[in-house]
Amino acid sequence: MDMQPVSLSLHDESEGYQISPERVPMAVLRNFTKDVDDFLKGESGEVDTSALDVSVVHGSIGIRTEPIAHTGLFADLRRLSTSSLLDGIDPRRRKVVERWQKMARSHCRLWITIATPALAQPLVVSAATDFRADDADQWVRVERYLQGEVVEMGGTRTVNAHIRLPDGRTLIAESSREVFRSDKVNRLYKVAMARIVAEYNVVTREYRDVHLLAFEEHHNVLDEASLARLTERGAKAWKDIPSASSWVDGMRGNKA
């Protein structure tokens, strides 16, 4: 696809004046730039914002990227321009839009616009819009153990672990420095058992807002002595049954 710029603008008069590059509350500017960073990057870090050049423009506070071409980002923008349902878009972008929608409902004189030549008209999040997740009631908070290969871990600002699950999906689990500091085992590029808390979708089986609590020890080595004891116990239990399959058929009511 062609490289195109993306402009994200915050319009806010809730402070009693129209914010602009000349005057804006520090907290508002900080939160908006963080949201823009999250929206552009997405869950997978599709857009490397650390190497991205942007310009600050009027409108009221606008951030315009240099021309970029990222399939996932533009696919999500097109989806948002045609539907208010947030299902199916990148989880991190979805959280940003949910925050913007909640903020716009709380302040009727605040709205956000996203514009790019890829869209026929700017995308608007305001008190009049209703961006929401149709599967909101299908997410439950869970704590569970997951086994997977740790393919990346650490970080400077955000500390996390990237865990590749057996089905090929990669979970990005935020954690704390203390979890990694206290772990005495080198987990990188090894299969590990992770104890996490997360939101889990009971329909799509997706995870979001994943937090790593700890790595737990686990052993996949076969205990031959235990297996021998179980085999011996089973043999004793079935010693008076000449045919296991016939016994099962009889229990089911099947007649030969």
Tens-digit pLDDT profile for the chain (256 aa)? 689 999 999 999 888 888 998 899 999 999 999 999 999 999 888 898 988 999 888 768 999 999 998 999 999 999 999 999 998 899 999 999 999 999 998 888 899 999 999 999 999 999 999 898 876 567 889 999 999 999 998 887 788 999 999 988 899 999 999 999 898 889 999 999 999 999 988 877 889 889 999 998 766 565 677 778 888 888 888 888 887 777 777 776 666 5
Residue ranges and CATH numbers for the domains of the chain are: 7-134 (no CATH), 137-216 (2.40.50)
Q: Are strands 54-58 and 61-65 parallel, antiparallel or unpaired?
A: antiparallel
Residue 187 C-alpha from the chain's centroid: 22
Q: Are strands 170-174 and 123-125 parallel, antiparallel or unpaired?
A: unpaired
pTM of the full predicted structure?
0.55
C-alpha to C-alpha distance for 230 and 249, rounded to whole angstroms: 24
Q: Which residues contact 144 (CB under 8 A, 6 or more apart)?
A: 195, 196, 198, 200
21: phi > 0 → left, psi -120 to 50 → alpha, else beta; which?
A: alpha
